[in-house]
Amino acid sequence: MRLIRKYATSSKNVYNELKARGMIAQVTRSVRLQKTLETRKITLYAGVDPSAESLHVGNLAVLVTLLHFHLHGHNVIPLIGGATGRVGDPGGRTSERDLMAVDRVERNASSITNQVQHFFTSAAQHVSHQQQAAPTILNNLAWHGSLSLLSFLRFPGKHLRVNALLTRDSVRSRLGSSQGISYAEFSYQLLQAYDFWILHKDHGVELQVGGSDQWGNIISGVELIRRAGAPESELDPAEDTVHGLTIPLLTTSTGEKFGKSAGNAIWLDKSMTSVFDFYQFFLRVSDAEVLPYLKYLTFVPVEEIETLYEEHMKSPEKRVAQQRLASEVTAMIHGVAALDGARLASSVLFDSSPGEHSGSNKKETGRAESILQAIGEHPRLRRASAEEVLDQPVTRVVSKYGLSASHSVAKRLLQSGGLYLNGTRITQLERRLERSDFVDGRVAVLRAGKEEHLILELQ
């Protein structure tokens, strides 16, 4: 499948590009921001807290938004929440977060910093076909770490009004719950507001970008900068020199957020979510999800996306839109070579024999390694010696390694036409595994029905 050739946009204004993709949920003084972006380049930031050792697909929309600005020539600052991650954002939660150990927050922050840097180099190169310098990544522990409680109460505490803070969704929803909200989590929006002020003062930041659940925190930053820069009698939102912009949250078809706390995280770290499972996640999204995902998470031009979706809806069973989505995002995050491995593994597991995979032939070598790299350390993978599996009845092998509950169940499965070897239905009850059944002499795939697999790696 053809991937994006080179980043192209119908608009020189990144605001119009985001709007065409449906990526603007809320924005302060939209007309002024739009005009500013038409006339000059700005500095902007988005933050991410190190609540886990890896980012997940729920973080991708914000990163992609920053990359849109980056490719349009704006100066972007990804901010790692080394300080705010020690407190925890109450947004989107009905209960208090458990405090993480400080050393774990620090390890997570280091890991996520490396991930963000990798994203901006690899994703930008994939999209623009040019080597791109990664933006400067900052950590808010640099300024919060030396801020005393008294200093914090004087600034930003003196400039933000409690009655306004209480109206934020993240606070209001928790005040009505049985657990309430701790002072620590209530103060989170002050910490984020202080981030915006510091970045505005020291780095000339004019815009903060975040998911739509961050709107209240972003507004607190806008208000802090306004109040810190003018006497109380002269406060006028119309004179704001900074802006906030949120993008729609990436959710499932049932409206759930992605993330660790939701229990549905698809991680960007391939050691936590294999490249194969990452690719398969996007390949399996619903028809209702695939159009916004293509617009939010890829750089395929909007006109091409709409044409592709129209083609897809004529024959939705072919899933051409999902294939394009899975290919673009996997290549952007993990690289084209990893994408090829995920495609090959998908072909082996679900479609046909390994040699029938598009772009490969039975004389090729290295296909087994591609499959293994794409799948990673997955529960479906079993390693076996030649003595354990070669010249053994297939039914014995699938029962031994857990694909069927017992040898008799395996026999019934075979007789009913539900047992496959490398995509081909097994019809002989006494069929035995041979070395030639293993791709490159290393990997064979047994399947029960449509979904259950056993991948054997010959040691």
**pLDDT tens, position by position, 391-428:** 999 999 999 999 999 999 999 999 999 999 988 899 99
Strands 443-448 and 452-458: antiparallel
> With 60 as the cut, is the pLDDT of residue 233 above it?
no
- Tens of pLDDT, residue by residue over 103-120, are 999 999 999 999 999 999
Q: Are 11 and 42 in contact (CB under 8 A)?
A: no
The pair of structure tokens assigned to 332 is 């952007």
Please give the Cα distance from 142 to 163 (Å, whole number).
30
Kindly report, as residue ranges, where domains of CATH 3.40.50.620 are found in the chain: 14-247
Residues of the chain with CATH 1.10.240.10: 274-374
> pLDDT value at position 426?
95
Instruction: State both tokens at 284.
Output: 């399996």
The whole-chain average pLDDT of the chain stands at 88
CATH top-level class of 379-458: alpha beta
- The pLDDT assigned to 385 comes to 93
Architecture in CATH for domain 14-247: 3-Layer(aba) Sandwich (3.40)
In the predicted structure, residue 132 carries a pLDDT above the cut 70: yes
Percent of the chain whose predicted confidence (pLDDT) is above 90: 63
> How would CATH label the architecture of 274-374?
Orthogonal Bundle (1.10)
Cβ atoms 325, 294 nearer than 8 A: yes
Q: What is the dihedral of CA 175, 180, 185, 188, to 10 degrees?
A: 0
Residue 241 DSSP SS3: coil
User: Would you give the end-to-end CA distance of the chain in angstroms?
Assistant: 33
Share of the chain above pLDDT 70, in %: 90
Handedness of CA 327, 330, 335, 337 (dihedral sign): negative
Q: Where in the chain is the domain with CATH 3.10.290.10?
A: 379-458
348 confidence band (pLDDT: 50, 70, 90): confident
